[in-house]
Structure 1
Amino acid sequence: MLDLNKLAGQIPGISTHLTEVAAASRIRLERAQEFLEEAYQQQAELVQKQEQWQHRICFSAAVPIEPLDTRIYVQTPPAQHTVIATDGSQMAPNHHEIAYCYLINMGLVMLHYGQSLHPVLDSVPEVFYKSEDLYVSREWGIKTEEWMGYRRTVSEVLLLAEAATTWANTANVKLPIFDSAENATPSTTNEQSNHPKSKIQNLKSPVPMLAMTDGPLIYWFLDKLPSDARDRILPPILEAWDTMRDSKVPLMGYVSASRSFEALNFLRLQACPHDVPDCTTHCNGESEKAPCHVFDPLRDTSVWASQLQPGQRGPLWRSELRILDWYEQHRIYFCYVHVGSEIARIEVPGWVAEDEEMFEEALGLMLGQVQKGYGYPVALAEAHNQAVVRGGDRARFFALLEQQMIKAGLRNVGTSYKETRKRGSIA
């Protein structure tokens, strides 16, 4: 139990510290704005320096694809469009439960606007209990809980690609649409649909689409994975992206409260006092002690919050992170958009960024989702609500599992004494 009376004495210290941090951040922000204005006129020279000395620079800086002073208002979404989103949650394994297993629950949302079609609100649970699922990651020194999160990422992308491409590729014919209603039955016969909750609806004409994920498309965890483990995670994701590219469905990662500083790192080239940005020679490869290290811990969003008006986007950037070398043709581009409630980082694969019409249209659909969701994309919020496993869901799952184990003839089924005792209290 948390004693608020004892905690109250520590709160003033936190407030004082945050005040000091805010004052220091304002100074860093002013410096960053000065370097940004100087870089407007020297962008081409800075990009050339980055390309020439990239192997001698000890930090990763994104490359601006558009002029740094780009400020474009995001277009209004069309009346008719479709947005698809997935999200996932997980239930970690526990040795004190009646069975050692874990569960991944995927939420799927498909919202149709201006088409007189019902929305899709569905969830797809999957239980993992076999030894190859529970212990395979240990050969790479990865905890089961971590591996479960990586598996969930793959499942999110696969479900998103399947739903998006199925809808896009059959846009002019009768097709199955997942429906969350318990008593849903097909209105016409369709042998191609095996989903237990399918309805047949007819899309009269193709409409703009957007497939959204919650979080970045740059999977930072890949950098620390052994190659064998990475080969089980990344290839299925890239294959799913291939299907969306072939179906011309734009993919977008929406990053709220981004902590990235890739764009600010580009300004470090402007802040470098040396004619040649050779970190290895001039600064002994110690980035934190370098003269250009004047922005930390400032983030990209802090700078663009001072540059963008609500509804505007900044320049497009190409990420140069090393892990993207494994992405093959799907190198990630990003931009920052003032969505009204915050500065959101928007990530897209190269095949979306290189198609100007698709990219701008996708941004418009995204901004429409934020406005409909009162500050956060409504499709992502609803996908999360479909995916989340609450305490009551967990209890019902283990109750169902216990019944099945008893029916199978297993004895001594139950939680450990430790878990049983922790669920009660003498207080």
Structure 2
Amino acid sequence: MLDLAKLASKMPNMGQEMQKDALASVERLQLAQSLLIKTQQQQDTLIKTQEEWSDRLIFTPATPIEPITTCVDIELADYSHSVFSADGSQIAPSHHEIAYCYLINIGRIMLHYGQNLHPLLDTLPEIYYKSEDLYASRKWGIRTEEWMSYKRTVAEAEVLAEMACTWVNPPGAHLNIPNLAMTDGSLIFWFLETIATEAREQILTPILQAWEQLRSTKIPLVGYISASRSMEAVNFLRLPQCTYDNPNCVVYCGEEINKTPCQKIEPIRDATLWSSTLKLRQRSAIFRSNSRILDLYGEKQHIYFCYLHVGTEVARVEFPQWVGEDSVLLNQALSITLTQVNKGFGYPVALAEAHNLAVVKGSDRSRFFALLEDQMIRAGLRNVGTSYKEARKRGSIA
């Protein structure tokens, strides 16, 4: 049990420290704002410098595709449009339960506005119990729990593409209705950098195939990131701050990574900077992410992003290159995203509802294992039950 009386005595020091950080952040923000103007004036030169010295930088700046101070007004979506979304949750495997298995539950949402059509709100649960589902990943040094989360990411992408393309592909009136496929979180899967090549292919390949389905059907895809902590765009502002002839971090700053002269504006985040420059319903310049894992995505699926002032916050919106290069699809995607946030009072309706459908509550977990126990007994299995540890945790004697 948490002792609130003891905890309260430690709060004043924390408040004082946060006050100091807030004052320092104001100064860094002012410096970052001035650097935006300076950076735009020499943007082409800085991009060439970045390309030439990228392998010797100790940070990863995103590349602006437009003038870095760009601010573009985004209109709300047309009255008639459709939104697709999918999100997942899971029940993790446990040796203390009656069976070692895991469950992935995908919530899918299809909302139609101004079309007099019923929405789709349902879930697709799948149980994994075979040896190849539970133990195959261990040959790559990946725990079953981690592999389960990777499989969930794949399932979310496949369900989203199948749902959206099935709706749009058949001939009908909805072909000319603007639409959008939305997912919660980043489209850049950094975790793939640390796993074996064979395992990475099993995860990334079906995701890219699902995205290719969306591209061929001309359904724009975005990843919506609320409260983004990314510094990719701000990192580009470090290039004009370099005090050396060339930004060769490996040579000049290799032993002083935390004291480099270009770190004057850290830890200002992208969202903080663009919240001071964007007005309501405006987007920032488009940036090309340079995360190393994106080299495996292919050219058309490389990830671009921008920042969008949705009213309650400045959100990071990511999209594949094929969306970023098509002005019609990009405006369609951002306008529907903005409308979704507006309808959801600060967060996209489709994402919130997909999450609520997918989430597995404690009562759902209990019913799942009760159903599983019943099926095991029906199959003739004996000695079915939880471990003593799990039984004691469920019923405390204190």
Shorter-chain TM-score bucket reads: over 0.9
Q: 1:250 aligns to what?
A: 220
Aligned partner of 2:335 among 340, 361, 364:
364
1:329-408 map, 5 Å = 329=299, 330-408=301-379
Q: Matched residues in 2 for 1:144 and 1:13: separation?
A: 41
1:147-226 map, 5 Å = 147-172=147-172, 203=173, 206-226=176-196
Deviations, residues 173-214 of structure 1 (Å, cap 9, x unaligned):
xxxxxxxxxxxxxxxxxxxxxxxxxxxxxx465201100000
Query: Is 2:258 the partner of 1:288?
Result: yes
Structure 1 residue identity aligned to 2:8: A
Q: Matched residues in 2 for 1:271 and 1:171: separation?
A: 55
Q: 1:113 aligns to what?
A: 113
Q: 1:233 aligns to what?
A: 203
Q: Counterpart of 2:266 in 1: which secondary structure?
A: coil
Aligned 8 A contact 2:106 2:124 in 1: yes
Q: 1:82 aligns to what?
A: 82
Aligned partner of 1:267 among 237, 251, 262:
237
Q: Matched residues in 1 for 2:265 and 2:174: separation?
A: 53
Aligned 8 A contact 1:71 1:313 in 2: yes
Q: Counterpart of 1:96 in 2: which secondary structure?
A: coil
Query: Is 2:99 the partner of 1:99?
Result: yes
% identity of equivalent residues: 57
Q: Matched residues in 2 for 1:170 and 1:390: separation?
A: 36
Aligned 8 A contact 1:58 1:285 in 2: no
Aligned 8 A contact 1:251 1:349 in 2: yes
Aligned 8 A contact 2:169 2:175 in 1: no
Aligned 8 A contact 1:62 1:263 in 2: yes
Q: Counterpart of 2:306 in 1: which secondary structure?
A: strand
Q: Matched residues in 1 for 2:250 and 2:97: separation?
A: 53
Q: Counterpart of 1:77 in 2: which secondary structure?
A: coil
- Compute the displacement of 1:82 (Å): 0.3
1:102-141 map, 5 Å = 102-141=102-141
Aligned 8 A contact 1:287 1:293 in 2: no
Q: 2:73 aligns to what?
A: 73
- Compute the displacement of 1:58 (Å): 2.1
Structure 2 residue identity aligned to 1:364: S
- Compute the displacement of 1:296 (Å): 2.3
- Compute the displacement of 1:224 (Å): 0.9
Q: Matched residues in 2 for 1:248 and 1:255: separation?
A: 22
- Compute the displacement of 1:50 (Å): 1.0
- Compute the displacement of 1:285 (Å): 6.7
Query: Is 2:308 the partner of 1:311?
Result: no
Aligned partner of 1:297 among 267, 270, 273:
267
Q: Matched residues in 1 for 2:334 and 2:171: separation?
A: 22
Q: Matched residues in 2 for 1:45 and 1:285: separation?
A: 27
Aligned 8 A contact 1:216 1:253 in 2: yes
- Compute the displacement of 1:171 (Å): 4.5
Query: Is 2:396 the partner of 1:420?
Result: no
Aligned 8 A contact 1:305 1:343 in 2: yes
Deviations, residues 367-412 of structure 1 (Å, cap 9, x unaligned):
0000000000000000001100001111111111111111111111
**Which blocks of at least 5 consecutive residues in structure 1 are unaligned?**
173-202
Q: Matched residues in 1 for 2:174 and 2:192: separation?
A: 42
Name segments (4+ residues, structure 1) moved above 3 Å. Answer: none
Q: Counterpart of 1:121 in 2: which secondary structure?
A: strand
Describe the shift of the 1:401–1:7 C-alpha distance in structure 2 as closer, same or farther (beyond 3 A).
Answer: same
Q: Matched residues in 1 for 2:133 and 2:79: separation?
A: 45
Aligned 8 A contact 2:168 2:175 in 1: no
Deviations, residues 278-337 of structure 1 (Å, cap 9, x unaligned):
212222375422110222222111101111111111100111111100001211000001
Q: Matched residues in 1 for 2:142 and 2:378: separation?
A: 35
Q: 1:7 aligns to what?
A: 7
Structure 2 residue identity aligned to 1:414: G
**Which blocks of at least 5 consecutive residues in structure 2 are unaligned?**
none
Deviations, residues 90-120 of structure 1 (Å, cap 9, x unaligned):
1111111111111100000000000000111
Q: Counterpart of 2:187 in 1: which secondary structure?
A: coil
Aligned residues: 397
Deviations, residues 223-249 of structure 1 (Å, cap 9, x unaligned):
111111101100000111111100000
Q: Counterpart of 1:404 in 2: which secondary structure?
A: helix
Q: Counterpart of 2:263 in 1: which secondary structure?
A: coil
Aligned 8 A contact 1:165 1:244 in 2: yes
Q: 1:181 aligns to what?
A: none
Aligned 8 A contact 1:77 1:361 in 2: yes
